Amino acid sequence: MEWIKVIQPWFMAGGTVMYVLCVCSLVVVFFGCERYLVFARLDSGHMFAVRFYHAMMRRQYEEAVEMARETRGALARMIMVAAQMETVAQRQAYIELETGRVLTLLQERLYYISLIVTAAPLLGLLGTIHGMMYSFQLLSTGGEHALVVTGGVSEALVATSFGIIIALVAMVMHTYFRQRHDRIIGDIELCFSAWEWYQKEG
């Protein structure tokens, strides 16, 4: 538990706003883990999309569907269900509805991570203002308050630094999930574009 003894003085130096920033950091960790599990469950993998695309381009329909049957994820499941539908109209309607549902699942809670990217530095800035106001208040009273004034400046710097660190972690996390989100949607479009081409050519 030595790390607690090391962190505690810094945490206390940051002032009251550090408690809010601590909650923000826990929210980032929670939603980061939750989003990772959701993306892992929905993602069929880019290699699957590429293999399915090439199989359809070679008109190997049965092989492509079998490939989907052996693969996990939302895209593979969509292909399996769509393959069992009798008409093109039914298939297209299902693909549109299911793509919208997957898109909603992928975008859920990313907003909260994005919010913390913006809010954490502002909270750190609030701690900065609080610390500096406290320092100036002591200076205005006169007397020897050098150590206390230094403590106020320390509070300002620690809160700002912690807010920026949280924002950077949240920004990296949001960028990572946004990139995976775009790739999964791109994979869905790639596979069903190939399927549409196969139907027109076949």
Residue type, 137: Q
The predicted pLDDT at position 171 comes to 97
Distances (CA, A) of 135 to 130, 138, 140, 156: 9, 5, 9, 10
Q: Which two tokens stand for residue 101?
A: 């549902």
Each of the 202 residues of the chain gets a pLDDT tens digit; together they read 566 666 666 677 677 888 899 999 999 999 999 999 999 999 999 999 999 999 999 999 999 999 999 999 999 999 999 999 888 889 889 999 999 999 999 999 999 999 999 999 999 888 877 777 766 666 666 555 555 555 556 666 888 889 999 999 999 999 999 999 999 999 999 999 999 888 887 6
> Tens digit of pLDDT for each residue in 68-116?
999 999 999 999 999 998 888 898 899 999 999 999 999 999 999 999 9
Domains in the chain: boundaries? 2-201
Residue type, 186: G
